[in-house]
């Protein structure tokens, strides 16, 4: 069992937990993920490592409540325990040798982008971060990004905080001004990553994306995170969990990934609603 030592609500749908998992904390790196089960009867879900403290032996996860399992996880509190917490899994994000990087995070994807930006900063890299949200109410991790970024752009779709517009607005402005980077790293909703890739493509700057949004099982067995890459004129099949989660954004077939990802939305919503009804019944 893995004890929850700290729980914090970041916005109405996103929660941060610090979990005592010393063996995972000892090896975890930015970009990797864990698989957890809330209880013995629970399903297995992958969640990306949002931070770790090797000395304390803790791993931080940040999750959005979208389905039955995240709803159940969100009902646990400090002092409660998670049944299984396995990892780290996946390939760490490449950061070695990078001197100047633009990290782009969207929504809850900022939880995955943050440890990448922090590691780059710790390695002496010049970090420009762009974080985007639909509105001020959904803003997370601004202070943490500001602490590890040489320049930070905060964007909201409705202009309720920071600048109005999506993450491509400052990115395009920087490119137009002749700014260059060793690499652009984009982590967030598939549609956001697609447009970041297209904004970066004319510059020829390497653009890496994290395909964790399409992961389901986390072991490559379910096939849900099957991904088509267009490489050297050929279509290549990879799996986000075992081959990634990071990929060359220029090769990713985002349209196919978005189509497959939408297949599970109705199921997730029904499972979430059923879980909510069950917890409300237990409370009564």
What is the tens place of the pLDDT at every residue in 229-256? 898 889 988 887 777 789 999 999 999 8
Give the whole-number percent of the chain exceeding pLDDT 90. 71
Specify whether 68 is located in the same domain as 108.
Answer: no
Angle in degrees, 0-180, between the axes of helices 168-176 and 190-200, rounded to the nearest 10: 10
Domain that holds residue 50: 2-89
Specify whether 43 is located in the same domain as 171.
Answer: no
* DSSP letter assigned to residue 57: T
Specify whether 50 is located in the same domain as 134.
Answer: no
Residues 145-170 have a mean pLDDT of 96
Specify whether 134 is located in the same domain as 78.
Answer: no
- pTM to 2 decimals? 0.85
Q: Give the 3-state secondary structure of residue 197.
A: helix
Last residue of a domain, one of 89, 111, 135: 89
Element (H, E) at 63: strand 58-64
Looking at residue 282, what is its pLDDT? 54
Specify whether 115 is located in the same domain as 228.
Answer: yes
Specify whether 249 is located in the same domain as 122.
Answer: yes
- Residue 267 domain flag: no
**In whole angstroms, what is the distance from residue 277 CA to residue 59 CA?**
30
Specify whether 143 is located in the same domain as 8.
Answer: no
- Residue 50 domain flag: yes
- Residue 116 domain flag: yes
Q: Which residue has the tokens 């077939």?
A: 253
> Sign of the C-alpha dihedral, residues 255, 12, 47, 206?
positive
Q: How many CB atoms lie within 10 A of CB 13?
A: 16
Per-residue pLDDT reduced to its tens digit, 160-199: 999 999 999 999 999 999 999 999 999 999 999 999 999 9
Looking at residue 272, what is its pLDDT? 43
How many helices, marked H, and strands, marked E, lie in the chain? 9, 16
Looking at residue 18, what is its pLDDT? 97
- Residue 127 domain flag: yes
Per-residue pLDDT band at 268 (split at 50, 70, 90):
very low
Looking at residue 218, what is its pLDDT? 60
Last residue of a domain, one of 66, 89, 112: 89
Tokens found for residue 129? 């971060």
Specify whether 251 is located in the same domain as 127.
Answer: yes
**In whole angstroms, what is the distance from residue 249 CA to residue 169 CA?**
19
Specify whether 219 is located in the same domain as 122.
Answer: yes
Per-residue pLDDT reduced to its tens digit, 85-107: 999 998 999 999 999 999 999 99
What CATH number has the domain bearing residue 222?
3.40.50.80
- Residue 231 domain flag: yes
* Residues 169/163, Cβ–Cβ less than 8 Å: yes
- Residue 284 domain flag: no
Looking at residue 264, what is its pLDDT? 54
Specify whether 85 is located in the same domain as 123.
Answer: no
- Residue 270 domain flag: no
- Residue 59 domain flag: yes
Count of domains for the chain: 2
At residue 38, does pLDDT exceed 60? yes
Element (H, E) at 90: none
What CATH number has the domain bearing residue 64?
2.40.30.10
Average pLDDT across the chain, whole number: 89
* DSSP letter assigned to residue 262: G
Q: Which of 104, 133, 130 is nearest to 207 (CA)?
A: 104
Specify whether 33 is located in the same domain as 75.
Answer: yes
Looking at residue 219, what is its pLDDT? 61
SS in 3 state form for 198-256? HHHHHHCCCEEEECHHHCCCCCCCCCCCEEEEEECCEEEEEEHHHHCCEEECCCECHHH
Specify whether 107 is located in the same domain as 170.
Answer: yes
> Sign of the C-alpha dihedral, residues 278, 282, 283, 284?
positive
**In whole angstroms, what is the distance from residue 23 CA to residue 257 CA?**
33
């Amino acid at each position: 069992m893995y004890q929850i030592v700290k729980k914090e609500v970041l916005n109405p749908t996103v929660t941060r937990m610090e979990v005592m998992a010393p063996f995972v904390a000892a090896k975890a790196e930015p970009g990797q993920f864990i698989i957890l089960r809330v209880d013995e009867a629970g399903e297995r879900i992958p969640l990306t490592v949002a931070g770790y403290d090797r000395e304390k032996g803790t791993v931080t996860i940040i999750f959005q409540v979208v389905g039955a399992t995240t709803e159940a996880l969100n009902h646990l509190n400090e002092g409660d325990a998670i049944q299984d917490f396995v990892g780290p899994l996946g390939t760490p994000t490449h950061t070695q040798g990078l001197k100047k990087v633009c990290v782009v995070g969207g929504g809850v994807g900022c939880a995955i982008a943050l440890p990448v930006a922090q590691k780059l900063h710790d390695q002496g890299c010049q970090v420009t971060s762009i974080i985007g949200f639909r509105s001020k109410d959904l803003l997370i991790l601004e202070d943490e990004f500001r602490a590890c970024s040489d320049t930070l752009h905060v964007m909201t779709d409705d202009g309720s905080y920071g600048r109005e517009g999506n993450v491509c607005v400052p990115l395009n402005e920087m490119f137009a001004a002749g700014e260059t980077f060793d690499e652009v790293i984009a982590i967030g909703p598939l549609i956001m990553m697609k447009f970041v890739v297209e904004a970066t493509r004319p510059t020829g700057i390497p653009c890496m994306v994290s395909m964790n949004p399409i992961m389901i099982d986390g072991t490559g067995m379910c096939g849900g995170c099957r991904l088509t890459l267009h490489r050297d004129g050929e279509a290549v099949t990879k799996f986000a969990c075992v081959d990634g989660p990071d990929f060359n954004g220029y090769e990713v077939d985002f349209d196919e990934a978005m189509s497959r990802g939408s297949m599970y939305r109705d199921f997730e919503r029904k499972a979430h609603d059923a879980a909510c009804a069950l917890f409300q019944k237990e409370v009564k």
